[in-house]
Chains A and B, each alone.
Chain A
């Protein structure tokens, strides 16, 4: 008989050796470390800020770019840092690198219209098909300031018009004109659009409205001339054309997005631009102040020439002469330095000439002016104005035939200049060559019209031609 055995209690699992636990833990740790390392290695990182060729660039520009680049390196997830670097690069002519920065800024801050707008504006110049989606995006994102949102809508509308996508352009233009009915650029664009659609009446209406705004007046008059010509209205066309011809060229449309870029320009070109703006506004002394300041940071012939021209234009000939002499030391063969030095000396001498006591001094100075004119002509033989001053100086010095020869040459170089024509005409008249003087002055009058009354007056001073026979 077999006695049943009681059920065996469950056999306790023999304890695993403790080392396995450690191995498992180690493996886990290793796996975690590996995963961490690979994440660290492959993690999405902002790209390196672009590098640009800076050899030969101005130190101020180099410094500005390097500082902006450093900011991006220190804070690579900041859209503003990328955007700022992009704007600085764009302002200094590094467009492709700037576009990369704007793209990165847009990735980091997709709600900012600035970045797609600036990329779109640049791509319009290179690859318009790529530009349109960017500009549309900028328009969609909008901007709290009206001038920005208007600029984006108008830029897109113009790009669409250039591609004959006029319906979308029209919607945008109507939107702009609803927000800002007197927007000159909007009126101009709408006028152009209507002209394209042969709706001349509306085109004329909007173009006339555009003539009331700055930056659009000349453009609108030019377009009006062509619309009136197509309508057969020759007199209105001529009137618009003549009025347009009297106006200075208009620069690019004001654009607040691009203004932000332009403001970052640090090179001397930007400072020269300020000088030009001031001089155009008649603020010659303020411009001279900038140039004097520039003479400390950029003490080369270009600055001194600019300052010399500024001073000569203000009639400050002795100061101009002094500045130009400094320029001459820096650039002994610079054509414009010699030319403007000749002008400054000549005009001082001309003032002295009537005073007999100063005549000898004036004679010496005329000789000096002639010498500088000749040096200018050595670098630029077709310098019509230098040739004219040389001719005039030679006549003061008593060498009238050489003077006439150079004045003839001056007219050959600059047949469109009433200054050279007048100088030759008057010199010929002085030498008794009245018939030729008349021919020269009449030809000049045909070209200059009545813009320069001195030609007409010089003609009237000539003795009347003898009657035939």
Chain B
């Protein structure tokens, strides 16, 4: 065999192309149990004037990016202190369907301000990440696409400008999830974009019986994630660049380019306790990657040794969305990754630090009312009892669902599934409460994005869901017996922005909680970068500790609960490392 062919991996590509099949498999009907608890969420989409309908482009084309996108972002786009919504379209660059920016008005209604916002772009838009790249206090936006990545500078007042080219951010690959994080701790947010597969739109895929369907990722070779280092302000004298900062593609030099895989989800957190942010990437049908930050601008891939590459039985499932949080309040962040309907979503608990174990079954997460192909997933304390609960949105990637009369376009109905909600009952157990939550879980959608924020500023976490070919829906938290709460904004005045990567810890007597400040989580989405604590019956806290992204620690006084705090770096009492 000619060596160039072997080296280029073309043989394996060619072989996998041959087997471009996929199989559609059905839902199993759920046990017909009745709802027994009051619901946690109500659908307020229509009430607040959110009228976004996702456009995946023309059907019967079997264009694979259609089944993968799109996500959404919740952030304060115009700086008025209220959270706005940014929702992505996926109908292609020539479509009239453009991404939509909705401004929240006082009173909670939303107004479409897409026109002339600069964010109203068409394309095969997949995911979105939000972060202040130039430290001017205004959150900027990156949109990943099939065949591109677009960086938008926030000009204030809900206006944005595309600075991708000037900033040096470009990629021909198929990007999905993205995240801003400061891997070299220089104060300037860097950017990671997780790329999916090396897709060929002209390659047809079929079920085993020969019926057309979307291709499975195994048909194509995976691609490498891309890392851009934010070099800070443009220091070239006389530079006329429209971008206030420049990025350098360090994919190869950082080592991130070492392993290609079909990546879909990404989260950034310090998993090893060395005060450096690491990366966890969920790969679709291939072992996950855990990139450990070496502190010298490079990363090493250590998922296998650290126990998070494969499931308990050694399988590489179809990793899509990622929920990150400390499910057992042991001061270590755990990972929950969504998979296919025919697989099981997986909870990898961390412990000891830096090492993970699949504990899905032990935590009751195999006992669910129904199964689904999970995409967006979030850990949040929705009932504020001090334990992180779990929300998942589902939607198939190949035909086979039996739902009818869903209100979705007929083409998408066989892909639709119901969402899921689990309460963390403490004592190491989750319990499926989907049946009690008809608004969030009761109807079929081809769910993809799931974002979280306290939209109405009542101290409780609300949810935003995107689905292929369907309405984006906003769910207000109405859990009736919510406990006390505290919201912490970790703000770095030097850089005039949220301290992405900060770890916030709260103590109250014997109890303690950990939350991470990060916008990127779930699937192709950006969330409010706030540390939200449910405190149960705890009505007073003893103290707050913040481990800032640069590794410094500070402690802040405790006090009353049921309030939102802003902790500014440098204003606390220095803590011990």
**Residues of chain A whose beta carbon lies under 8 Å from any beta carbon of chain B:** 53-58, 61, 91-96, 123, 125-130, 158, 161-164, 188, 192, 196, 219, 222-223, 225-226, 228-230, 237-238, 241, 244-245, 249, 265, 267-269, 272-273, 275-276, 279-280, 284, 302, 305-306, 309, 312-315, 331, 333-336, 347, 379-385, 409, 412-419, 443-444, 446-447, 452
Give 9 A-B pairs besides A385-B8, A412-B170, A415-B251 with Cβ atoms closer than 8 angstroms: A58-B210, A92-B207, A93-B209, A126-B342, A226-B355, A245-B304, A269-B206, A302-B18, A335-B200
| Shortest Cβ distance from B203 into A: residue | A336
Residues A91 and B172 in contact, CB atoms below 8 Å apart: no
Query: A245 to B289, alpha carbons, bound, how many Å?
Result: 13
CB distance from B530 to the nearest CB of A (A): 34
Residues A230 and B355 in contact, CB atoms below 8 Å apart: yes
Residues B306 and A226 in contact, CB atoms below 8 Å apart: yes
Residues A334 and B202 in contact, CB atoms below 8 Å apart: yes
CB neighbours (8 Å) of B309 from chain A are 222
A and B contact pairs by CB, cutoff 8 A, 26 listed: A54-B209, A93-B208, A125-B341, A126-B341, A127-B371, A161-B312, A163-B366, A192-B313, A222-B309, A226-B304, A237-B305, A245-B304, A265-B208, A267-B206, A269-B19, A280-B15, A312-B5, A313-B2, A313-B11, A315-B2, A331-B202, A335-B200, A379-B201, A409-B172, A414-B223, A452-B7
Which of these, A93, A123, A192, contacts B312 with CB under 8 Å?
A: A192
Stretch at the interface among B84-92, B126-134, B135-143, B254-262: B254-262
Query: A379 to B202, alpha carbons, bound, how many Å?
Result: 7
Query: A302 to B170, alpha carbons, bound, how many Å?
Result: 33
CB distance from A91 to the nearest CB of B (A): 7
CB distance from A272 to the nearest CB of B (A): 4
Query: A230 to B574, alpha carbons, bound, how many Å?
Result: 34
| Shortest Cβ distance from A382 into B: residue | B172
CB distance from A265 to the nearest CB of B (A): 7
Which of B14, B23, B312 has the most chain A CB within a 10 Å cutoff?
B14
CB neighbours (8 Å) of A276 from chain B are 15, 18-19
Residues B257 and A222 in contact, CB atoms below 8 Å apart: no
Any A CB within 8 A of the CB of B411 = no
Question: Please, what's the 1-or-0 string for B210-233, where 1 marks a CB less than 8 Å from any CB in chain A?
Answer: 111000000000011010000000
CB neighbours (8 Å) of A237 from chain B are 305
Residues A94 and B209 in contact, CB atoms below 8 Å apart: yes
Residues B25 and A95 in contact, CB atoms below 8 Å apart: yes
Residues B173 and A413 in contact, CB atoms below 8 Å apart: yes
Known: A313-B1, A381-B172. A229 touches B306 (CB 8 A): yes
Any A CB within 8 A of the CB of B565 = no
Residues B1 and A446 in contact, CB atoms below 8 Å apart: no
* Number of chain B residues close to chain A: CB under 8 A: 74
Which of A61, A229, A415 has the most chain B CB within a 10 Å cutoff?
A415
Query: A79 to B152, alpha carbons, bound, how many Å?
Result: 65
Residues B147 and A446 in contact, CB atoms below 8 Å apart: no
Residues A267 and B342 in contact, CB atoms below 8 Å apart: no
Residues B209 and A58 in contact, CB atoms below 8 Å apart: yes
Query: A95 to B25, alpha carbons, bound, how many Å?
Result: 6
Closest 7 interchain pairs by CB? A58-B210, A125-B342, A382-B172, A443-B252, A126-B28, A57-B209, A92-B209
Residues A385 and B10 in contact, CB atoms below 8 Å apart: yes
CB neighbours (8 Å) of A162 from chain B are 312-313, 344, 360-361, 366
CB distance from A287 to the nearest CB of B (A): 10
CB distance from A324 to the nearest CB of B (A): 13
Any A CB within 8 A of the CB of B43 = no
CB neighbours (8 Å) of B493 from chain A are none
CB distance from B94 to the nearest CB of A (A): 15
Any A CB within 8 A of the CB of B456 = no
Known: A223-B314, A412-B172, A415-B224. A347 touches B304 (CB 8 A): no
CB neighbours (8 Å) of A417 from chain B are 8-9
CB neighbours (8 Å) of B343 from chain A are 125
Query: A313 to B253, alpha carbons, bound, how many Å?
Result: 32
| Shortest Cβ distance from A91 into B: residue | B208
Residues A229 and B5 in contact, CB atoms below 8 Å apart: no
Known: A161-B312, A280-B15. A447 touches B26 (CB 8 A): no
| Shortest Cβ distance from A221 into B: residue | B304
Residues A267 and B260 in contact, CB atoms below 8 Å apart: no
Residues B4 and A419 in contact, CB atoms below 8 Å apart: yes
CB neighbours (8 Å) of B316 from chain A are 249
CB neighbours (8 Å) of A229 from chain B are 305-307, 355
CB neighbours (8 Å) of B321 from chain A are none
Residues A164 and B362 in contact, CB atoms below 8 Å apart: yes
CB distance from B4 to the nearest CB of A (A): 6
Known: A57-B211, A241-B305, A447-B252. A418 touches B7 (CB 8 A): yes
CB neighbours (8 Å) of B252 from chain A are 415, 443-444, 446-447
CB distance from B417 to the nearest CB of A (A): 12
Residues A419 and B21 in contact, CB atoms below 8 Å apart: no
Query: A237 to B252, alpha carbons, bound, how many Å?
Result: 25
Which of B10, B310, B342, B344 has the most chain A CB within a 10 Å cutoff?
B10
Known: A446-B253, A447-B258. A412 touches B344 (CB 8 A): no
Residues B313 and A158 in contact, CB atoms below 8 Å apart: yes
Any A CB within 8 A of the CB of B27 = yes
Query: A245 to B21, alpha carbons, bound, how many Å?
Result: 26
CB neighbours (8 Å) of A55 from chain B are 211
Query: A274 to B226, alpha carbons, bound, how many Å?
Result: 36
Query: A129 to B251, alpha carbons, bound, how many Å?
Result: 45
Any A CB within 8 A of the CB of B470 = no
Which of these, A56, A188, A222, A416, contacts B211 with CB under 8 Å?
A: A56
Residues A416 and B201 in contact, CB atoms below 8 Å apart: no
Residues B25 and A93 in contact, CB atoms below 8 Å apart: yes
Any A CB within 8 A of the CB of B17 = yes
CB distance from B435 to the nearest CB of A (A): 16
CB neighbours (8 Å) of B438 from chain A are none
CB distance from B524 to the nearest CB of A (A): 19
Which of A54, A163, A280 has the most chain B CB within a 10 Å cutoff?
A163
Interface residues of B in 343-375 (CB under 8 A from A): 343-344, 355, 360-362, 366-367, 371
CB neighbours (8 Å) of B156 from chain A are none
Residues B258 and A416 in contact, CB atoms below 8 Å apart: yes
Any A CB within 8 A of the CB of B570 = no
CB distance from B88 to the nearest CB of A (A): 20
Query: A379 to B63, alpha carbons, bound, how many Å?
Result: 12
Query: A312 to B224, alpha carbons, bound, how many Å?
Result: 27
Which of these, A95, A336, A418, contacts B200 with CB under 8 Å?
A: A336
Interface residues of B in 299-333 (CB under 8 A from A): 304-307, 309-310, 312-314, 316
Interface residues of B in 134-190 (CB under 8 A from A): 147, 170-174
Any A CB within 8 A of the CB of B24 = yes
Known: A269-B206, A313-B1, A333-B202. A412 touches B171 (CB 8 A): yes
CB neighbours (8 Å) of A452 from chain B are 7
CB distance from B168 to the nearest CB of A (A): 12
CB neighbours (8 Å) of A161 from chain B are 312-313
| Shortest Cβ distance from A249 into B: residue | B316
Any A CB within 8 A of the CB of B542 = no
Residues B304 and A241 in contact, CB atoms below 8 Å apart: yes
Query: A336 to B257, alpha carbons, bound, how many Å?
Result: 25
Any A CB within 8 A of the CB of B198 = yes
CB neighbours (8 Å) of A92 from chain B are 207-209
Which of these, A272, A382, A447, contacts B198 with CB under 8 Å?
A: A382
CB distance from B60 to the nearest CB of A (A): 11
Residues B304 and A244 in contact, CB atoms below 8 Å apart: yes
Query: A279 to B16, alpha carbons, bound, how many Å?
Result: 12
CB distance from B477 to the nearest CB of A (A): 31
CB distance from B69 to the nearest CB of A (A): 17
Residues B312 and A302 in contact, CB atoms below 8 Å apart: no
Known: A336-B17, A447-B258. A416 touches B304 (CB 8 A): no
Residues A268 and B210 in contact, CB atoms below 8 Å apart: yes
Interface residues of B in 95-153 (CB under 8 A from A): 147
CB neighbours (8 Å) of B25 from chain A are 93, 95-96, 125-126
Residues B212 and A56 in contact, CB atoms below 8 Å apart: yes
Query: A313 to B5, alpha carbons, bound, how many Å?
Result: 7
